[in-house]
Structure 1
């Protein structure tokens, strides 16, 4: 590095050089520039790295929220310790996947931000942002705004996680009751139909049971005498017959089948009711949490958080447009011009005055390419001239040979044909 008598550029450390690289700055030029230029690109790189870091956290949390095992937002309200333990429960497999996804997502956003910032020009070199500068930077501002929105929403639902969990648990309980009511309504109609069929059999069965009871009472009264008479025996015979009919009715295939069908319906109903908690747990999703975050925080706080991340994301773009040109910028332009001159590239600025605004108005002359093109054209032209001269000389030689010895060019068959 060139040593100056009037100014010595501070030596940059590893951390500063890494942030320069993140900002897309040229280390060679910055090490020969001023401390002020070094700090500009240090801060610019820090903002880009911070944005990528925040994007990684937000992406990982969003991934975990989407793919974590579903359950009640709050497992129990027994004690404060129970609530805390339910918050701290983490699914290890999903957490590992979330870390991997968050890292990849953060690197993607970091790379996109780096491209947006490095592709944004320095404007006119003044602090003012003119309409033309803003218009040229508008596509990058739109892309940065989209990235800011994707980062802010997962962070927002994480900030209000406690309140969201409580509200979400209430909604899950309501959803569970609604599901149970629908399940009961669906199965009750089937059960009522089976109960009606069973009632027909049981009405007849109860009638026979009542008759059996009456006969039994009648037999007891008749048997009070010392000897059982014919009347008592007849009552007993009827009682035995009714008892046999009762047993036969209880084993009736239709009656047994209907009761079995009812038991199966009740089992399915119980199974569906037991699944109500799982169904309600499905309400715990990213979209539902974002809705609840807006409902709990209100649009003012939600907008404030979004604007905060918009500022973080768009600051590098506006920062570059507001940068005042310093030694770094002039040295960078000088090096670009030297490289273009070394490669024979000439740029005639504002050459096409009649072109529409926004179109290319500079004329670029590639002298190195033109030189090679001219050399190639001359070589091809020379080869063509040489070939033409060679053919002409060969023709003259052949004509002389024909004049000296024409017979050698005429066959016997040609002579006989003429004769």
Structure 2
């Protein structure tokens, strides 16, 4: 806007967009000083930056949550998850941007001085709390992205430990079941070995008898025949034992085979179980462990400062032409709409000073309505009186029509 004493700079498109982001009045800023234009453009820039960081943090957090789980050292990017995370990040960034814009726009200018009074601070506490929540929400995903390489290395070690622990625990759960099967197999094998031992002894005695190593009476004869019969009987006992326990052996071996396959399947899950550690919560824990309390504190503090700067910035603003012009326009708008405010006009029951708000247009409408209703009431009364007079005249002219004989 051109004046003889000062020419307001013409703002560019980016500056006007930043004004909108700060929730400021572009109409007034175009007619204000360059200092005011820059202040509110910077304020809008902080809001835009916060929204952008929220979009990045939200998108990365969603990608970490929904990405295919695997070894922490596995590289690559899942396209489907990346697209979904990007869409969510944009939406989340716009949500935070809108909330920040509302917080900044709703934060007043305080008393118009650089000092932040206790009353100003107390009034800003709800907005400060909202800003803190937003800052912490943004900072945590950014932390795990900053320390990603260190977190991946540490997480990989934890996954290896988890696999080993799962393997040991899984095998321990199956030991008792394998032991029961092995006991039955050992019992059958031991009984069979007893029969086999008897058979070998009978064979040796028969062979020694035939070959003359048995001493007196050695060679083929009645004793050798008796030993042969005994050997044949033990052999039949062995065959009978094998036949009678064949089904049990097959059943036990099948059970052992199935149990082994089941164990192998469970052990194959150890990688899946270990990969389950690759989540957002575990990475946040590792970020705190790796970086330490103070580093994570200062990273969070950085985002808190960025988030809360606009709130404290507005409380520290000194009143400028932008503020006075804004107040002037507000008064003009109230005057155009017949609104009058008498500040600190009365005290309420608690002794607090209150403003008296007079809406002249509304009061005029009420007066008109009252006058109209009063006029309608007077006309109704007049009509009733005239009707009564007409009825009386009719009665006077024809009174016999209104009298009934008893």
**TM-score of the pair, normalised by structure 2:** 0.92
- Of 398, 402, 406 in structure 2, the residue corresponding to residue 409 of structure 1 is 402
Q: Mapping of 1:172-321 within 5 angstroms?
A: 172-217=159-204, 230=225, 234=229, 237-238=232-233, 240-251=235-246, 253-321=247-315
Given the alignment of the two structures, is residue 161 of structure 1 paired with residue 160 of structure 2, yes or no?
A: no
- Once residues 261 and 252 of structure 2 are traced to their aligned partners in structure 1, the CA distance between those partners, rounded to angstroms, is 14
Paired with 2:51 and 2:393, the residues of 1 have a C-alpha distance of: 86
Equivalent of 2:357, from 354, 358, 364? Answer: 364
> After superposition, where does 1:325-344 map in structure 2 within 5 Å?
325-344=319-338
Alignment of 1:68-147 (within 5 A): 68-74=67-73, 86-87=74-75, 89-147=76-134
Identify the range of structure 1 (128-137 vs 310-319) with the bigger mean alpha-carbon deviation. Answer: 128-137
Shift of 1:223: 6.5
Worse-superposed segment, 18-27 or 176-185: 176-185
Alpha carbons 1:37, 1:328 under 8 Å: kept: yes
Displacement after TM superposition at 1:139 (Å): 1.1
Greater mean deviation of Cα atoms: 396-405 or 171-180: 171-180
Contact 1:223 1:232 in 2 (8 A): no
Does the 8 Å contact 2:178/2:256 carry over to 1?
A: yes
Give me the whole-angstrom Cα distance separating, in 2, the residues matched to 1:211 and 1:67: 68
On the 8 A contact 1:145/1:314 being kept in 2, the answer is yes
1:360–1:23 Cα change, 3 Å: farther
Give the SS at the match of 1:351.
strand
Deviation at 1:60, TM superposition (A): 0.8
Write the distance in 1 (CA, Å) between the matches of 2:371 and 2:210.
Answer: 144
Q: Is the 8 A contact 1:72 1:172 kept in 2?
A: yes
Distance 1:356 1:288, change over 3 A: farther
1:250 deviation in Å? Answer: 4.4
In structure 1, the residue matched to 2:136 is 149
Moved more, 366-375 or 194-203: 194-203
Greater CA drift, 108-117 or 162-171? 162-171
**Which whole-Å deviations, capped at 9, do the CAs of 1:227-266 have from their partners, x for residues lacking one?**
8974575366336414522431441x33332332222222
* Structure 1 partner of 2:12: 13
Q: How many aligned positions are there?
A: 398
Measure the CA separation in 1 of the matches of 2:277 and 2:294: 26
Q: What do residues 256-295 of structure 1 show as CA deviations (whole Å, max 9, x unaligned)?
A: 3233222222222221111111112112221211111111
In structure 1, the residue corresponding to 2:346 is in which secondary structure? coil
**5+ long unaligned stretches in structure 1:** 75-85
Considering only aligned residues, what root-mean-square deviation do their CA atoms show, in Å? Answer: 2.2
Aligned residues of 1:129 and 1:321 also touching (Cα < 8 A): yes
Q: How far is 1:220 from its partner?
A: 5.3
2: CA distance between counterparts of 1:98 and 1:360?
A: 53
Of 367, 378, 389, which residue of structure 2 is paired with 1:374?
367
Question: Counterpart of 2:61?
Answer: 62
TM-aligned CA deviation for residue 130 of structure 1:
1.1
The answer for the alignment partner of 1:78 in structure 2 is none
Matched-pair contact (CA < 8 Å) for 1:23–1:44:
yes
Secondary structure of the equivalent of 2:48?
Answer: helix
CA distance in 1, matches of 2:15, 2:289: 43
TM-score after normalising by structure 1: 0.89
